[in-house]
Chain A
Amino acid sequence: MSDATSGGAVPAAGSRRHGSILQLDARTKKRNAKEARFRAYGLGAIIIGLVFLVTLLTAIVSNGVGAFQQTFIEVPVYLDPQKLDKTGNRDAAEMAKVSTFGYTPLIQQGLLDLVDREGIDAPFEKAGDMKALISASAAAKVRDYVLANPDALGETRGFELLASSRVDGYLKGRVTQESVERDRNISAEHLQLADALREIGAIRKGFNSEFIFGADASESRAEQAGIGVAILGSFFMMLVVLAFSLPIGVAASIYLEEFAPKNRLTDLIEVNISNLAAVPSIVFGILGLAVFIEFAHLPQSAPLVGGLVLTLMTLPTIIISTRASLKAVPPSIRDAALGIGASKMQSVFHHVLPLAAPGILTGTIIGLAQALGETAPLLLIGMVGYIATNYPDGISSGFLDPNSAMPAQIYEWAKRADPAYYERAWGGIIILLVFLLTMNIIAIILRRRFERRW
């Protein structure tokens, strides 16, 4: 070869059929410009998306983070035996007869005494004036303490009590002295007193574990409301969804994918499953209402019914993702199993299913996450509007007792008039997102761990 070229001269520029490759021709320039434009569009789309996401997250966090903090008042309460144990024999049954109304004045008196002792200048004389500062839930807390420790009677104990939602709002900046002018519950003087108490350390803000683990409260006690019971409600619902949709979904998809003959009927079923995935969730809600509650007479607002409705909704998602992961298993694996004399079922259960498992699990978790965030169907079976004030006692009541669910609880709070609930709704959303994120991360980890190469 070398001797063939050594004698040849470099071709002159004129002999080239095309122009110099060092110069871009018009077509190339145009094509490059087009490509550059397209990249710019793509980048722009991603930036817009990111901006939205960041805005959303900032809004959620800035609005919701307040719900995780709560204002507490440290009040020394004299536990007057005259009022709390009239018989004087410390009999638990007798003491229990004293309702929270018996405790409220003692707490208010305690706070008033504290104000006097500290020499704070406040225009309040009556113990009842302190009502605006202290949460209505305080009495119940003191009462519980006394009933648990009857020996404390006659002594003065310090209690860390929830401040009222107005005081709480004042400390968080939601309420100002001007904004309470027309508020019947609280006056500017109260807020000044709160400032003074804060200076001496009697009022302070702390972490609000009650919000995460506590139960919902009535409309007037925003400071007491928590999402814990609703989390439990959601948890029981997810158990139901998992228990029903995974086996049904996987069985259905294995049959359709591996065993069913390919004919008109199976085609029709396939199309319908795809369509079901696109049906609005409220449709499943009304179906659940009609079938589970009106026809089968299952209890209203129960996580069991909620779970069944969400199962209907999740099934298509699981079937579609399971079929996709079964399809993704290379046919060579099936051939290999059949080739050494495994039956169809052996080949599916011994080889295909284990390989599809990570995909199935991921699909299931994504389906569960979707169900976890679903609100609309719960509207129709009464899980929204129910005030979840009590923890279910035991497993079966966990399924059958009325309860709420996380998104339903958030919706409920957002509906309420008190602006303190607005903050809680955002806080609830943070918790919901944390759950969803955790589930997605679990899905990713499962996929990473069990995914095998072939």
Chain B
Amino acid sequence: MSDQHILSAYDRDLESIQAMIMKMGGQVEAAIRDAVRALETRDSDLAMKVRVGDRAIDELEQLINEQTARIIALRSPTAVDLRVVLSVMKISANLERCGDFAKNISKRTGVLLESPPIESTAATVRRMARQTELMLKDALDAYIHRDPQLAESVIDRDVDVDQMYNTLFRELLTHMMEDPRHITACMHLHFIAKNIERIGDRVTNIAEQTVYMVTGELPTEKRAKADHTATETIDFGA
């Protein structure tokens, strides 16, 4: 199969929406990184910047939606072209949610700055964030290089994020039980962790879309769910 359409404008259209996805991906990656760094370094300006920057991501998503609608209306894409267009729409929606999570992290960072830091949790949050960031980067790489193996590995790696979240969840519970004054901070930290975990899930969706775009089929649901917090109980007697 030739890479090029006879109608070169069609190629330009498809390339441009994918370029927008990459641009959006870059912005989301930066937002996540900055949000986590702001939390670590207790940098309220950086947190503010992330919150403001989310608007640009939203606008970009809006533009992508318009352009994909336009392509569907004008070019009636079929087969791989159709999958590209559909995956672009879904990926942009997922990226937009990721951006929202980053913004939410920044918001909570603002609150956390008013209370003393909870020691020992920072490393776990950092590792989690690092992991999801890498996953997002790989997911976008897999997308642009049409690499389903890489995408599958991204999906598999989500287990690690879930497990880190579990660990952090228990840690935070312990902190809160030790000292009820930590409850506010711990709740916010928990939501931050939860947000990062959600980002991981969204990245997994993006990777799934990549597999779908390349192979035409969604990956089979085989990955282990490692987020057990929904059924977690604490034995207060312990």
Complex A–B touching at CB under 8 A? no
Mark A residues whose CB is within 8 Å of B. none
